[in-house]
Amino acid sequence: MNQRTLLSFFFLVLFIQLMSSNLLGQQSTEIEAYHVVILKSRSFNETELADLQTRLSNDGPFTIHETCRELGLMVIRIPVAASLRVYTIEEIIVAATHEILNHDASVIQNKTPLDVANCSN
Mean of the pLDDT values across residues 1-5? 70
Rg (CA), the chain: 23
pTM of this structure: 0.69
Which is nearest to 106 in space by CA: 116, 117, 95?
95
pLDDT of residue 91: 92
9 vs 60: which has the higher pLDDT = 60
Could you tell me the domains of the chain? Answer: 34-117 (3.30.70.100)
- CB-based burial, 80-100: b 16+ in 10 Å, e otherwise: eeeebeeeebbebbbebbeeb
pLDDT of residue 81: 81
Dump pLDDT digits (tens) for 23-76: 455 555 556 788 899 999 999 999 999 999 999 999 888 999 999 999 999 999
Percent over 70 (pLDDT), the chain:
77
